[in-house]
Amino acid sequence: MQRGETEWSAFEWMHTECLPDLIKLACLLPAKEDSLRTVITKYLLAVSGRYGKDYLEHIMLPVFLIAAGDIDSGDFIYFPLSIQSKVRGFRPKTSVAEKIAIICVLPLLLSGILGSPSSRQQLEEYLRKLLIQNTKDGSFSMHHTAEIIDAIRFLCIFEEHHGVIFHILWEMVVSSDTNLKTSAAALLKALVPYVGVKVASTHVLPALITLGSDQNSAVKYASIDALGAVAQHFKSDMVVDKIHIQMDAFLEDGSHEATISVIRALAVAVPHSTDRLREYLLTKIFRLTSAPPTENNVERRRERANVFCEALRALDATDLPASSVRDLLLPSIQNLLKDVDALDPAHKEALEVIGRERSGGTLESIGKAMGAHLGIATSVSSFFGESSLLGKKEGGEQHDPAAASVPPQVGLQTQQENTRFGRIMRGGFGDMLRGKAKGGDEPS
């Protein structure tokens, strides 16, 4: 659009009414409401496609820049003087409004305005400004790193922008600035769910391995956290092998912080990871708990024990092979129970329950504990215990024709369901115990 070729009144409704209303709507959306935000993005792209590159660059872009809080980048030369003041009024006026603008409007600016095919070069320049230059010149986004990362996470939903995002990310990874490297690890973690295994292997993992070799501990531990996200979302052998190698390198470091970070990152991935990764984590916990404690600091021993307990409880909720339970899980529990001073009472109780169930194959202990807490002392145990109705039927009453007609698979299926039920109940049971311990009540 050239100035003078079209009457401004034909366009004013869009940038004085429609776009402001869309911005207001966006500011009402939760940060992770990606579906509605995607609809708005597609509408903005359609508008720029219909109105043309000039309208996008000279009208739409300044409106969204000012609404996102970037008051220094907007050019209002093409706006009539009569409406300039109204458009400038979109600027957030408080610190809270500024944060909301970055959370809600910046994703639309990146994906719906700069994400237009005609603005790819501007998108790269603006991302570089947000992620690299803002740590040096005190720009509007300097104190909103987490919000900016989430905005770029949304941009990564659109696969066509992966190239420019990872190009800027690599600049951050190889930078000498520690803050940029830490932000790069956090951004990589946020982007993991939105990339495929090929991008994870060729871009994400090499970047995280590079960050993991950094001498700065904050950068290193941030990369461990991001590797846990990779383990959670990808199950290919190649990716798992690379994670094993990198985690081994961190554990060989031998520091308390590295050990805590590795176990915690892998424990979060346990429910969605592969059997190989679970076996790897269980093996590491067994070896680490088998070694004599080198820490005299009780607080550090407690932190270490808490992380191990949380990981073991996560592993217990999965279908572990019998050999892993016998050779790794139960010995690890026994090792942890030796250092009573380091164990949280709730964790101690949960580990004892896991040990009894996994070694005895019965839910009687769960039933008694739950009954004592809920006032139904016999209901669960009488149903699931060895002497229960279920136990008697599984024991087989030969004279009962109904029992004789049940196929043998039913008993096995019932036992598997009981075990799964116990794991589910134990998860909630641990929370109850932790609540009682914090309240100072004596355990039942």
pLDDT digits (tens, 9 = 90+) for 268-280: 999 888 899 999 9
Instruction: Provide the mean pLDDT of the chain.
Output: 80
The residue-averaged pLDDT of 205-219 equals 94
CA 341 – CA 364 distance, rounded (Å): 27
CA 192 – CA 422 distance, rounded (Å): 33
- pLDDT band at 6; cut points 50, 70, 90: very low
Contact 185, 208 (CB under 8 A): yes
Question: Phi and psi at residue 253, in whole multiples of 5°?
Answer: -60, -35
- pLDDT band at 425; cut points 50, 70, 90: low
Phi-psi category of 299—alpha, beta or left, where left has phi over 0 and alpha has psi -120 to 50?
alpha
Whether pLDDT at 344 is above 80: yes
- pLDDT band at 135; cut points 50, 70, 90: low
**What single DSSP character describes residue 292?**
P
Among 117, 158, 195, 120, which residue's Cα sits nearest to residue 34?
A: 158
Q: What is the pLDDT of residues 136-160, one digit of tens each?
A: 544 545 567 889 999 999 999 999 9
Give the model's pLDDT for residue 133: 82
* Rg, C-alpha atoms of the chain: 29
* Residue predicted with more confidence, 10 or 27: 27
pTM of the predicted structure, to 2 decimals = 0.75
Q: What is the pLDDT of residues 22-65, one digit of tens each?
A: 999 999 999 889 999 999 999 999 999 998 998 899 889 999 99
CA 280 – CA 89 distance, rounded (Å): 57
Whether pLDDT at 224 is above 80: yes
Q: What is the pLDDT of residues 263-315, one digit of tens each?
A: 999 999 998 888 999 999 999 999 999 988 777 788 888 999 999 999 999 99
**What single DSSP character describes residue 59?**
I
Neighbours of 442 (CB within 10 A): 6
Among 37, 74, 69, which residue's Cα sits nearest to residue 134?
A: 69
CA 371 – CA 205 distance, rounded (Å): 48
Phi-psi category of 274—alpha, beta or left, where left has phi over 0 and alpha has psi -120 to 50?
beta
Give the model's pLDDT for residue 80: 72
Q: How far is CA 327 from the centre of its chain?
A: 31
Cβ burial of 316 (10 Å; 0-12, 13-18, 19+) is buried
Dihedral angle computed from the Cα positions of residues 189, 192, 193 and 194, in that order, rounded to the nearest 10 degrees: 120
Q: Tell me if residue 130 falls in helix, strand or coil.
A: helix
